[in-house]
Structure 1
Amino acid sequence: MVSQGTTLSGSVAGVAERERLGPGERVRDALGRSWRPVALLLACLAAWWGITVLRLVEPYLVPSPVTTLRVMSGKPGYLWHHTWVTTYETLLGLGIAVAIGVLAAVVMVYSTAVERTLYPVLLFAQVIPKIAIAPLFVVWLGFGIAPKVVIAVLIAFFPVVISMVTGLKAVDPEMIELSATMGAGPLQTFAKIRFPASLPHLFAGLKVAVTLAVTGAVVGEFVGANQGLGYVILQANGNLDTPMLFAGLLVMSMIGVVLFVIVELAEKLLLPWHASRRGDAVTTTY
């Protein structure tokens, strides 16, 4: 059955397509979808506030949301500077990881020898804890931005290359054969068929990689830095300044959430066909 109020533009073999929503309807639909996570977030904040008000945990261990927000609003310049440093490191590391990951995936798909050689190395590098080798990068590259970016690249690289390889291999072989029979060369086949078909998989990997890149940048700052949110968190921890510690954690989480949303919006803009297919544009009538 089709839910009440659904308008159908046609049906084929028990499948019906919804009519395209207008701008106002899209806004209402987005608001209808977003109230659940907002309600959950408010519930978590209420639970946090209740724990502090009831003194279930000492304030020096878990500060109240009001205290944390007061600290954030009391030092906006301080937090903004360190937030920008971490964001810059994250974006730079993510960009390098995407560029290298996509290139490596293309080479691996078109060369079985390279794939069999490179894939075990990638897996071996992925399972190594980055926090364990982070001090080495500080020794090799110094205390500047380089080691933080390298760690962000290493953490974000694996989901990008794996998702891209999966997407490039997921193309229907009949489409490849059809393009060959129509005279398309390897470059044309890649540009017109393989690469567009791999984009949904690539964006799925980017959603994972963008949050991991934030973690990588902060891990690098933990090991050796004089700026960035990792530095803020370490300083607050050493001074037993739990409100500032929680403020740094909240800002770091917001960076990951904002970057994730940006990637998701880019996916919907660049892949409207894929986003509509996942967004209940098609419904079954069985």
Structure 2
Amino acid sequence: MTLGRLIRMLWPPVLLAAVLIGGWQLVAEYAIKNPEVLPTPSQIVSAGWGQRRAIAHNAWPTLRETELGFAFSFVLAWVLATAMDFSPAARRAVYPLLVASQTVPIIAIAPLFVVMFGFGIGPKILLVALATFFPLAASLAAGFANADADADRLMRSMGASRWRIFWTMRVPGALPFFFTGLRVAITYAIGGAIFAEYAGAESGLGIYLQQMQQVFRTDLVFATVAVIAIGSVALFTLTYLLERWLTPWRKHERAGREVVR
């Protein structure tokens, strides 16, 4: 990606964010005039910087819960999607349960997980996995289902085994679908950890948010929310970098489309 293209891609959201923050500053400072209701962005930055150690201390447990829960979800999604690809019977049995798992609100089952598994990291990992599992498994299953049938028949006619076809043709073909689901899931991951901490935890950004709400530190609530948003955007951006690294052939496809345009 050239510098010029990067600038063209970034300046619209940066400009919009600057306008919104500037408008927020003016409204909060000259219209609301009550920092307990709506602090200015400058007050939020100042409060967040002053409490950076406390925020960082609580961010680490949330990050650890997010990483472990997402890793568990990642492995489980690949195992089940692979099983559904190899066995139509497994797909008919498992897929309805995947859909059903998304009809239960996380905020409703979080207290149940805490009652069953305690206040440790276990229920947080399970809730993050539950929040992120469906987009990963569904997108990967869709990628396998959209594999090139002609290429599949060609490899079979050449004597390729089922596993060889799977690893050399079906997995690479499913990766674009998978990364689409990964970007959706990664935005749910931190939110799932926060919900889990609301239900019961000793530390974490969810607990810190509750504490700041109880003492009416609206500036620190906004500062913590900003940290959560920045973390989610960073993880979202990381998925694009990972996709470019793992699917180098798509770079040439994108270049070809740009030439056509």
Query: What's the TM-score bracket when you normalise by the shorter of the two chains?
Result: over 0.9
Q: CA deviation at 1:101?
A: 0.4
Residue 135 of structure 1, aligned match among 89, 111, 122? 111
Q: Distance in 1 between matches of 2:255 and 2:37?
A: 43
Q: 5 Å matches for 1:41-80? A: 41-56=17-32, 58-80=34-56
1:242 paired to 2:235? no
In the alignment, which of 184, 203, 226 is matched to residue 208 of structure 1? 184
Instruction: Point out the structure with max Rg over C-alpha.
Output: 1
Report the secondary structure of 2:31's partner residue.
coil
| 2:87 equivalent to 1:95 | no
Offset at residue 144 of structure 1 (A): 1.2
1:270 aligns with 2:242: no
CA deviation digits over 1:6-57, x for unaligned, max 9? xxxxxxxxxxxxxxx6xxxx23321221111111111121121111122236
Taking only aligned residues, the RMSD between alpha carbons, in angstroms, comes to 1.5
1:81 CA drift (Å): 1.4
The answer for the alignment partner of 1:257 in structure 2 is 233
Relative to total residues, which structure has the larger helix share, 1 or 2?
Answer: 2
Which residue among 152, 160, 168 is the counterpart of 1:184? 160
Does 275-284 or 30-39 show the bigger shift? 275-284
Higher relative contact order (CA 8 A, sep 6+): 1
- Equivalence for 2:140: 164
2:107 partner SS: helix
Deviations 1:228-262 (A, max 9, x none): 11111111111111011111111111110000011
Q: TM-score, normalized by length of structure 2?
A: 0.96
Task: Give the C-alpha shift of residue 275 in structure 1.
Answer: 4.2
Give the C-alpha shift of residue 281 in structure 1.
Answer: 4.5
Residues 278 and 228 of structure 1, relative CA distance in 2, 3 Å threshold: farther
Letter in 1 for 2:120: G
- SS of the residue corresponding to residue 85 of structure 1 reads helix
Give the letter for the 2:125 counterpart.
Answer: V
Tell me the secondary structure at the aligned position of residue 32 of structure 2.
Answer: coil
- What is the letter of the counterpart of residue 250 of structure 2? H
Give the paired residue count.
261
1:194 corresponding residue in structure 2: 170
The alpha carbon displacement at 1:80 in A equals: 0.9
TM-score (norm: length of structure 1): 0.87
Question: Residue 267 of structure 1 contacts residue 275 of structure 1 at CA under 8 Å; is this kept in 2?
Answer: no
SS at match of 1:60: coil
Contact preservation (8 Å) 1:233, 1:248: yes
**Which segment is superposed worse, 270-279 or 44-53?**
270-279
Unaligned runs of 5+ in 2: none
Partner Cα distance (1:118, 1:81) in 2: 40
After superposition, the Cα gap between the structure-2 partners of 1:33 and 1:279, relative to the gap in structure 1 and judged at 3 Å, is: farther
1:107 aligns with 83
Higher strand proportion, which one?
Answer: 1
Q: Deviations over 1:150-186 (max 9, x none)?
A: 1000010000000000001111111100001111100
Give percent identity, aligned residues only. Answer: 33
